[in-house]
Each structure stands twice: as C-alpha cells, then as structure tokens.
Amino acid sequence: MRLGQREKELLGGARGETVAEALRGQIEVGDFFGAERFVPVGNVHMMGDIEVMGEGGLEFLRRVAESGARCAVNTTTNARCFDFGYAGRLGQDPENVAKERVLISYLREIGVMTTDTCINYQAVYQPHLGEHVAWGDTGTVIYANSVLGARSNFEGGPAALAASLTGVTPAYGFHLDENRRGNVLVQLEATLESLSDWGAVGRIVGEGHQDYTSVPVFTGIDRSPTADELKHLGASLASHGSMGMYHIVGVTPEARTVEDAFGSIEPQATVTVTDEDLENLYATYETGDGDANLVVFSAPQLSLYELKTLSELLQGKQVKEGTSLIVTTNGAYKAAGEALGYLRDIEGAGGLVLEGVCFYILDGVARMREENGWDNLVTNSAKLTNIIKAHRYNPVLRPTEECVRIAVTGRIEEA
Amino acid sequence: MSPWNGISVFRATGDVVEGEALVSVEGFSPRYDLNRSSGEISRPGHAIAGENIAGKILFFPTAKGGIAAGWAFYDLASKAIAPKAIVFGKTNPVMVQGAVFAGITITEGWSENPTEVFQTGDTVRVDPRRKTVELLKRA
C-alpha cells in the first residue's frame, strides 16, 4: 500500500505504539485485498461486548486503554448483550454483567461513545454521499452504502477500533467506485406491505446470491419506501446473503436510472420476485407444535416510528398469559417512547421493552430458550429468523400486525 | 492432483505454517459453528461436527456470519485454541480482519478444490508469500 504523510507519521509512533500497531494490521488487511491507499474516515461504528469479545478481547481493550491511545474520530457502539436494568429479570450471568461493565469503562476511556445501537444510521449519524466511514454490524454497513451513498466495508470489531484509532481505513471493496455498481437485476413484482415483506424479499435475493461482492439492483418499486422498510430489506440481504450494498432504481442515490446503477456491468443474473414467491416463503416457516409463547420485535432495533406502530396495535390489549412479547430499541428511542406514551401501551399490554441490546446477542439467549420452554420465535424480522437458528430457536416470520395478534391470542397458524 | 501435490491460492497473508489439515465441504462461522471454549465444531449437522480446530490448518469453501466473527479469532488465540491457518474458497473482510488481528494465516480462492487434493489428517504447509498450500505427508 502507498502510505501518505499521515500514515507514515503514525507508523513512526507519532501517536504511540498502540496506534502504530493498529495501522500495521490495517496495512496487512489492505495488502490482502490489493488496496493501494488509505482513505480518511469521518465516523466509526464498532461492535464490542463481552459476549463477542471474550476474556481475550477484554484484556486487549484494557491494554489499549492503559496505553493512552484514543479515538481519532467520533466512534459509537453497536447493540450489546445486556440491558443492565433487566439482566436479573432475564436471569443473565452476574459475572458476565460485571465484566461487561468493566468493558464499557475501557471503551469510554478510549473515547468510544457507547450508544449501543444497531440503528446508528437512524438515531445517531447519517454520513453524506461519498463519505468514507468504518462501520460494523452488517445492517449498518448496507444501509450506509445503499441508502446514504456513504462508503464502508463490513468492519469487524478489531478493524473498526483500528480505524477509530488511526482515523483511516484501507480503500478496498465498497470504498471503490468499481465495486459499487450493481451486478444482479431484481424485478420486483410483489406488493410489499409489512416490514416483514421487505425482509422476505431480502431473504429470497440474499440466499440466491450469497456473496459479499453481489450488489442487487431493484426495479419495480413504485412508491417511496420508508427508512424502516429499507432497513429491513438491507438487514435481511446482509444476513442471508452476506451482501453490503443494493440499489433501488429511482430511490437510492447511486441509482437514478438502471444504467446509473449498473454502469458498464452486465447483470450476472436476473431475479423476479412475485406475490406468490412471498407467500411460498412465509409457508416455509414451520410452526412446529404450534406454541406461540415468544414474540420478538428486534434485529434491527426498533425506530421511534416502529415503537409508535406497536403502541397503536397493542393499545388496550393484553399479551396472552404464558406468552412473552420482547421489543428491543436503543436508549434514546426508549426514552422518547416513554415521553410520548408509547411505552405505556406496550408495557401496559405486558410487553418487555429492552434498550441497548438486540435479541440474538443477549448473553445467555440459548439458555433462556431452555429455561422458558421457548421453541417457536415469532417475529417480523427476516434477519432474526436467520440468525436465531444458531441458538436452536424455531423462527416464524410474520407481518407486524400478525405478530401482535399472535402475542395477544397465543395462537399461531400455518401461513 | 497437481504434479507438485498442492494448490495455489489467490490471496494470502500471515506466517508460513505447517500442520494437520482439517477439510470441510461446508462453510464456517467462528461464532455459530464453534464451541469457543474448547475449539470443537459444535453445531450438530455441520460437515465436520465434533472435530477440533485447535492448531489445525482448516479448509472451508465459504465464510459465514457477520461482524461478530471479528473478535472471535483473537479470543481463540488468547485461549491457545486457534487454528494455524484458514484456507477459504470465498471469504469476507471480517474473517480477514479477524485473522490478521489474531495472527492466524489466512488465504482466499484456490486453483483446485482442496477436497480433491487434501484429506483430513494430511500434513500440509501454507506459504502466503508463494500463495501455495503443499502436501507434506499423507494421513
């Protein structure tokens, strides 16, 4: 890689050995992918909690904090594995709770803003067209690239922290024009209503073209989608397809036209998604013994608008005895939801609203399934249906209103 | 099999390492397929379920999973149960970032499918600079 003056100084130890070491790692990653240079990043979003980092990661963070190395750009954190206000109620391990508190103290010492949200693009920062960022959590990256026209690769925890310390990231993948053009054409003929429909499309397209370098281009969307719809589409594409970018012709900033989206690239494949495809997809989720004792709204965390929708759907209703309704959002939206009265409706109906977490990364989520006798997990998140299987839950995708109906009646039927 | 008993890889970084091959026809997620305390492939039904990755040279066609994988390799290395190298058909940036951070040799892309050249238990050498994986000794 070609190093600029700034990188040479960092390598020479201008900001200490920890920062130099971070840059050496970035050079090695850049060389692997054939990057020729670094680009400065305006913002970093990183994943860092005890569940993913383990003892080794915690010890590493302690050394970084004690070395005096500090964030060079604004850096926020992704959802974590504990909502401290509910750890006891969820039966989470007190030893891990204590470690998480220590871990957070190290992050803050380094200068990381522990926002604990996987929807930073809604709640915290919206980078502009062409802005280079280093974000972690695949859902945040695909939103930044696709909807905002910002530029990021999937940056895992160590890589995002390195970018935060150095203020730069190697220019490969989605930082480069040539990798941002579409290569799969998706003709959308289905009518998309619920957020789960957008996630379902993400699953169909993602599973069919699993590849970080696949960039689908959607045509046929005849209305202006909301941020929450685009978030569910992207989170699902990233989860099911490992994808980091998509275009919607006439909607996203690098796809004013089909030609704009593809550039000189010929589509490698064309996919058509119809109403029947969606119906078939819903039908693939088996309901097992028909139990409906867990309904989850999470992955990504809910926006304020989604909290409002839930409050309207749950107003004056009661979650069926024996059924748990769990909602996750970030601290800012929970506070706003409280002030606006949405929480009163959701919690009044018996729902549990957690902040700063995402359901699938909760510490002890596999054990919770056993202890609560949970089997089916009903959700409107196609991403969650993918990722939660690793913890042996049986996921069932349903539209938002249907999820609420299931929570209230305690009954679930085959799609 | 190639005349020189090995394959070429397209991209590679890390130290030259030699060790026992563990060859999988299924992809890999260090978060969801693995017991991170023991190093055992723990997900029931995985193509190499029950095998231990510690100190091995792993062959996987694809990488699975998201951002969380980034810290996982470092955690394995700190517990001394990391693999020596991972040879991927297709990988993603998070795996590469995580392997570099943990000091694990990693490669992507291959001239021939390793399942046709190597078998689990073979002794192999991964040389990132020459971009090769060679068979040293048959199992």
Tokens representing residue A293 in the block: 């004792």
Q: Please report the DSSP string for A206-272 in residue order.
A: HHHT--TT--EEEE---S---HHHHHHHHHHHHHHH-----EETTTSTT-SSHHHHHTTPPPSEEEE
- Domain limit, last residue, from A177, A201, A221: A177
- For A290, phi and psi rounded to 5 degrees? 80, 10
Does the residue A414 lie in any domain? no
Helix (H, G, I), strand (E, B) or coil at B106: strand
User: How many domains does chain B fold into?
Assistant: 1
Tokens representing residue B17 in the block: 């390492």
User: Do A186 and A251 fall within a single domain?
Assistant: yes
**What pLDDT, on a 0 to 100 scale, did the predictor assign at position A288?**
84
**Other CB atoms within 10 Å distance of the CB of residue A315:** 14
A29 contacts B97? CB cut-off 8 A: yes
What's the length of chain A?
A: 415
Query: Domain containing A87 — which CATH number?
Result: 3.30.499.10
- Domain around A294: 288-409
User: Do A115 and A196 fall within a single domain?
Assistant: no
- Domain around B25: 6-137
Does the residue A391 lie in any domain? yes
User: Do A326 and A211 fall within a single domain?
Assistant: no
% residues pLDDT > 90 (chain A): 96
Does the residue B77 lie in any domain? yes
A106-115 pLDDT, tens digit each: 999 999 999 9
User: Do A204 and A257 fall within a single domain?
Assistant: yes
Give the CA diameter of chain B.
Answer: 40
Does the residue B73 lie in any domain? yes
| Cα–Cα distance measured from residue A373 to residue A235, given in angstroms and rounded to the nearest whole number | 28
User: Do A383 and A243 fall within a single domain?
Assistant: no
B71 contacts A48? CB cut-off 8 A: yes
User: Which chain B residue shows the shortest CA-CA distance from A50?
Assistant: B71
Residue type, B73: F
Residues with Cβ within 8 Å of A105's Cβ and at least 6 positions away in sequence, in order, are none
| Cα–Cα distance measured from residue A241 to residue A211, given in angstroms and rounded to the nearest whole number | 6
Q: State the smallest CA–CA distance between residue B36 and chain A in angstroms.
A: 9
User: Do A208 and A65 fall within a single domain?
Assistant: no
Does the residue A415 lie in any domain? no
Contact assessment for residue A162 and residue A23, using Cβ atoms and an 8 Å cutoff: yes
**Which chain B positions have a beta carbon within 8 Å of A158's beta carbon?**
70-71, 74, 97-98, 101
A vs B: CB pairs below 8 A: 118
User: Do A92 and A170 fall within a single domain?
Assistant: yes
User: Which chain A residue shows the shortest CA-CA distance from B71?
Assistant: A53
**Which chain B positions have a beta carbon within 8 Å of A48's beta carbon?**
71
| Cα–Cα distance measured from residue A165 to residue A157, given in angstroms and rounded to the nearest whole number | 12
Contact assessment for residue B65 and residue A5, using Cβ atoms and an 8 Å cutoff: no
User: How many domains does chain A fold into?
Assistant: 3
**Which chain B positions have a beta carbon within 8 Å of A28's beta carbon?**
13, 100
| Cα–Cα distance measured from residue B139 to residue A222, given in angstroms and rounded to the nearest whole number | 60
**Which chain A positions have a beta carbon within 8 Å of B29's beta carbon?**
390
B74 contacts A32? CB cut-off 8 A: no
With both helix axes pointing from N to C terminus, report the angle between B69-78 and A157-166 in degrees, rounded to the nearest 10. 100
User: Do A228 and A344 fall within a single domain?
Assistant: no
A136 contacts B70? CB cut-off 8 A: yes
User: Do A152 and A235 fall within a single domain?
Assistant: no
Q: Please report the DSSP string for A312-330 in residue order.
A: HHHTT--PPTT-EEEEEE-
User: Do A366 and A351 fall within a single domain?
Assistant: yes
| Cα–Cα distance measured from residue A29 to residue A170, given in angstroms and rounded to the nearest whole number | 8
**Which chain B positions have a beta carbon within 8 Å of A32's beta carbon?**
11-13, 96, 100, 106, 108
**Which chain A positions have a beta carbon within 8 Å of B74's beta carbon?**
53, 56-57, 60, 158
User: Do A260 and A368 fall within a single domain?
Assistant: no
Does the residue B1 lie in any domain? no
- Domain limit, last residue, from A177, A202, A231: A177
One digit per residue, the tens of pLDDT, for chain A of length 415 reads 999 999 999 999 999 999 999 999 999 999 999 999 999 999 999 999 998 899 999 999 999 999 999 999 999 999 999 999 999 999 999 999 999 999 999 999 999 999 999 999 999 999 999 999 999 999 999 999 999 999 999 999 999 999 999 999 999 999 999 999 999 999 999 999 999 999 999 999 999 998 999 999 999 998 999 999 999 999 999 999 999 999 999 999 999 999 999 999 999 999 999 999 999 999 999 998 888 999 999 999 999 999 999 999 999 999 999 999 999 999 999 999 999 999 999 999 999 999 999 999 999 999 999 999 999 999 999 999 999 988 889 999 999 999 999 999 999 988 8
A33 contacts B93? CB cut-off 8 A: yes
Query: Domain containing B57 — which CATH number?
Result: 3.50.30.10
Q: CB contact, 8 Å: A156 with chain B?
A: yes
User: Do A359 and A387 fall within a single domain?
Assistant: yes
Q: CB contact, 8 Å: A307 with chain B?
A: no
- Domain limit, last residue, from A255, A282, A309: A282
* pLDDT band of B1, cuts 50, 70, 90: very low
